[in-house]
């Protein structure tokens, strides 16, 4: 199997991941810090030893798990978010059911919710309970986030000769990224850790933590082999944070800098492009109710461009442009409402100052067996949904089991007893095993066809 995913932090990491399976049946989970309420609403099983928890003011004792519930409004809805939030909280209270990740049906007897709400979704319970175990309603304090999707596509800034744009810009949360976070499958905990740390970064600034004492630059670097979902994960993370921080920031924007167009040697105007780009970003961040994400993909291209200029194989212009960009990025850090997201396809050290100062450097590697299985399962379910593939005529419709259920069933059943679902899922499991060497999604799909 390929190298496991790792995550390393430039601040002391929390103790080994919490949420043992036994938490699911623990009647009285430990107190929840205030951080969990106002940002990524997650309880910390050992608050006294968590850096994020230590940095926030104590909250009234609350021994429940704070679980995010995301509420998507219809694009036509004009309801006040506070009203929808209160209505959903009442509905969840009356529902008295367990909490597992996934959609919650909108009650047909509630005309207000029916009229305004498109989807209600419970999120990220798997950080606290493993293997799809459920949280009971009395163990949970739902934290409701109400949002509407922006339907505008990416706004582009055309370059001087109109061939390549120097950046794309989205208002978040964007329709284009809806469901992206959920579609990305990694080992349990990777996404949650990223979300929690990015949320903590925003919280630190919001609460005015002295940067001389706790240095926190709000720079995230995802690195690893190409095709492992780093760019997608950056966009999905920005989308998630824009939903979770909707009540704090009235507007969220994602700016994706197109390094290739900025540094193309055919542009003698690169310097002007950088200036124009950052003038625009500065206008965005000056408004303190804006939250701005700046994504610089494949940052190693900047280091390479600088190196090439030094060695004389690139015009000396490009070194000025790279340096201008790095200086601008460095300046951006001082703004509390900016998160810089960077990716790199190389795993060795990158010679770029601002990346050195990344708070979070996460290695995103090829998917584990469980992630590969779940990726294949989600692909097949989607193809079944749209009717591109179908079950053989006359066959009943066995569902494809999730990874944990399949594992449990395989242990408890002998071959003779194995039902249709187990058989079908086992075939998929074999395909996932075969995908070990080639882990890009295209290769996974190819293996399924075999
Ligand atoms: N772990 C994963 N789970 C689900 N989809 C993935 C995963 N890794 C990659 N993909 C998919 O593969 C494609 C390429 O991802 P991308 O973000 O461009 O990768 P990278 O930036 O690392 O090269 C995207 O469609 C992405 O959704
Ligand atoms: Mg990429």
Q: pLDDT digit string (tens) for 268-300?
A: 666 777 878 888 899 999 998 999 999 998 888
186 ligand 1 Cβ < 6 A: yes
Q: How many CB atoms lie within 10 A of CB 37?
A: 17
Residue appearing with tokens 């909280």: 89
185 ligand 1 Cβ < 6 A: yes
Side-by-side strand order, sheet with 290-296:
6-9, 360-363, 219-223, 338-344, 290-296, 251-257, 165-172, 155-158
Residues 6+ apart with CB under 8 A from 310: 319
278 ligand 1 Cβ < 6 A: no
| Residue 4 confidence (pLDDT) | 38
Q: Does the pTM of the predicted model rise above 0.75?
A: yes
Q: What is the mean pLDDT of residues 16-36?
A: 33
pLDDT band at 396 (very low <50, low <70, confident <90, very high): low
The CA distance from 117 to 183, in Å, is 22
365 ligand 1 Cβ < 6 A: no
Highest mean pLDDT among 47-61, 105-119, 198-212, 418-432: 105-119
375 ligand 1 Cβ < 6 A: yes
The CA distance from 256 to 197, in Å, is 21
CA of 182, nearest ligand number: 1
| Residue 90 confidence (pLDDT) | 95
User: What are 134-162's pLDDT values in tens digits?
Assistant: 788 888 889 999 999 998 767 665 555 55
Mutate to test the pocket of ligand 1, among 176, 232, 296, 445 (most ligand atoms within 8 A of CB): 232
Q: Comparing 8-17, 278-287, 343-352, 398-407, which segment has the lowest mean pLDDT? A: 8-17
| Residue 11 confidence (pLDDT) | 36
Given a contact cutoff of 8 angstroms between Cβ atoms, the answer to whether 277 and 167 are in contact is yes
Phi and psi (nearest 5°) for 233? Answer: -65, -35
User: What are 68-83's pLDDT values in tens digits?
Assistant: 999 999 999 999 999 9
Cis-peptide, bond into residue 173, ω within 30° of zero? yes
Higher per-residue pLDDT: 111 or 61:
111
The first and second tokens of residue 166, run together, are 């120097």
Given a contact cutoff of 8 angstroms between Cβ atoms, the answer to whether 273 and 320 are in contact is no
The CA distance from 174 to 446, in Å, is 30
The CA distance from 116 to 182, in Å, is 23
* H or E element at residue 232: helix 230-244
Rg of the chain (C-alpha set): 23
Index of the ligand 1 atom closest to the CA of residue 180 = 27
Q: Are strands 360-363 and 219-223 parallel, antiparallel or unpaired?
A: parallel
DSSP string for residues in 368-421: PHHHHHHHHHHHHHHHHHTTSS-PPTT---PPPPPHHHHHHHHHH--GGG--HH
184 ligand 1 Cβ < 6 A: yes
Q: First CA to last CA across the chain, in angstroms?
A: 21
Q: Comparing 259-263, 384-388, 427-431, which segment has the lowest mean pLDDT? A: 259-263
367 ligand 1 Cβ < 6 A: yes
The CA distance from 198 to 200, in Å, is 5
| Residue 313 confidence (pLDDT) | 66
Phi and psi (nearest 5°) for 36? Answer: -65, -25
Q: Give the SS3 label for residue 310.
A: helix
Among 133, 145, 73, smallest CA distance to 99 is for 133
Averaged confidence pLDDT in the chain? 76
At residue 29, does pLDDT exceed 50?
A: no
CA of 222, nearest ligand number: 1
Given a contact cutoff of 8 angstroms between Cβ atoms, the answer to whether 229 and 297 are in contact is no
343 ligand 1 Cβ < 6 A: yes
Query: In angstroms, what is the span from residue 371 Cα to ligand 2's centroid?
Result: 19
Query: For ligand 1, atom 10, which residue shows the shortest CA distance?
Result: 229
At residue 39, does pLDDT exceed 60?
A: no
CA of 5, nearest ligand number: 1
Mutate to test the pocket of ligand 1, among 180, 229, 378, 443 (most ligand atoms within 8 A of CB): 229
| Residue 416 confidence (pLDDT) | 52
Side-by-side strand order, sheet with 140-147:
102-103, 117-123, 65-73, 140-147
Given a contact cutoff of 8 angstroms between Cβ atoms, the answer to whether 42 and 195 are in contact is no
Residue appearing with tokens 């990223």: 194
* H or E element at residue 444: helix 441-449
Question: What number of helices (H) and strands (E) belong to the chain?
Answer: 16, 12
* Ion ligand 2: residues, Cβ under 5 Å: 231
The CA distance from 93 to 99, in Å, is 12
377 ligand 1 Cβ < 6 A: no
Q: Give the SS3 label for residue 29.
A: coil
232 ligand 1 Cβ < 6 A: yes
Index of the ligand 1 atom closest to the CA of residue 441 = 12
Phi and psi (nearest 5°) for 187? Answer: -60, 150
The CA distance from 28 to 22, in Å, is 12
Given a contact cutoff of 8 angstroms between Cβ atoms, the answer to whether 173 and 239 are in contact is yes
- 417-384-151-112 Cα dihedral, nearest 10 degrees: -60
371 ligand 1 Cβ < 6 A: yes
């Amino acid at each position: 199997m390929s190298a496991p995913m790792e995550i390393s932090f430039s601040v002391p990491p929390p103790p080994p991941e919490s949420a043992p399976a036994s938490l699911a049946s623990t009647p009285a989970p430990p107190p929840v810090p205030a951080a969990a309420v106002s940002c990524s609403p997650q309880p910390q099983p050992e608050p006294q030893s968590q850096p994020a928890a230590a940095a926030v003011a104590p909250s009234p004792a609350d021994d429940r798990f704070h679980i995010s519930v995301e509420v998507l409004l219809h694009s036509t809805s004009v309801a006040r978010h506070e009203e929808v939030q209160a209505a959903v909280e009442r509905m969840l209270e009356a529902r008295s059911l367990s909490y597992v990740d996934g959609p919650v049906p909108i009650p047909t007897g509630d005309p207000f919710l029916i009229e305004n709400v498109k989807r209600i979704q419970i999120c990220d319970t798997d950080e606290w309970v493993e293997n799809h175990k459920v949280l009971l309603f009395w163990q949970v304090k739902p934290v409701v986030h109400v949002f509407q999707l922006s339907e505008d596509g990416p706004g582009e800034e055309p370059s001087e000769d109109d061939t390549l744009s120097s950046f794309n810009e989205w208002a978040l949360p964007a329709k284009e990224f809806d469901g992206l976070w959920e579609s990305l499958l990694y080992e349990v905990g990777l996404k949650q850790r990223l979300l929690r740390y990015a949320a903590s970064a925003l919280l630190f600034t919001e609460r005015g933590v002295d940067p001389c004492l706790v240095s926190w630059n709000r720079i995230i670097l995802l690195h690893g082999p190409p095709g492992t979902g780093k760019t997608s994960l950056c966009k999905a993370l920005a989308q998630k944070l824009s939903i979770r921080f909707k009540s704090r920031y009235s507007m969220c924007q994602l700016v994706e800098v197109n390094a290739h167009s900025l540094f193309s040697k055919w542009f003698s105007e690169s310097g002007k492009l950088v200036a124009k780009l950052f003038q625009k970003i500065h206008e965005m961040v000056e408004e303190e109710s804006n939250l701005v994400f700046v994504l610089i993909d494949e940052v190693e291209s900047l280091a390479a461009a600088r190196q090439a200029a030094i060695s004389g194989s690139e015009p000396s212009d490009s070194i000025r442009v790279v340096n201008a960009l790095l200086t601008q990025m460095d300046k951006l850090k001082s703004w509390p409402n900016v998160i810089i997201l960077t990716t790199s396809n190389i795993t060795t050290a990158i010679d770029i100052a601002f990346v050195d100062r990344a708070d979070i450097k996460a290695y995103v590697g090829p998917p584990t067996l469980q992630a590969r299985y779940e990726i294949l399962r989600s692909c097949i379910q989607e193809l079944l949904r749209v009717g591109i593939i179908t079950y053989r005529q006359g066959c009943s419709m066995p569902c494809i089991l999730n990874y944990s259920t399949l594992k449990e069933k395989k242990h408890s059943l002998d071959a003779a007893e194995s039902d249709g679902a187990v058989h079908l899922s086992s075939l998929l499991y074999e395909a996932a095993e075969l995908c070990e060497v080639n882990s890009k999604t295209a290769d996974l799909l190819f293996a399924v066809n075999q």
